[in-house]
Amino acid sequence: MNAINELSFEAAYAELESIVARLESGELSLDESVSLFERGRQLAERCQALLDQAELRVSQLTDDGRIEPLG
């Protein structure tokens, strides 16, 4: 498993989908489920942070495509 802070949105989201599928399978031990759940939460937080950054960048764009600093 990669360091979460180094993952792109796409990579983090793909891993999160994989974790959800494995958790839904019901074939894991309790310890494995808890470990995967923790990793999944971290991945979800990474995805949200990347989405927030992208939203901020888009909100800074002017009509002519220049990026305008906030404040």
Domain that holds residue 70: 28-71
Number of domains in the chain: 1
What's this model's pTM, rounded to 2 decimal places?
0.80
pLDDT tens per residue, the chain (71 residues)?
569 999 999 999 999 999 999 999 999 999 999 999 999 999 999 999 999 998 888 877 766 767 666 55
For residue 2, being part of any structural domain is answered with no
For residue 9, being part of any structural domain is answered with no
For residue 23, being part of any structural domain is answered with no
Q: How does 19-29 read in b/e, with b if 16+ C-beta sit within 10 Å?
A: beeeeeeeeee
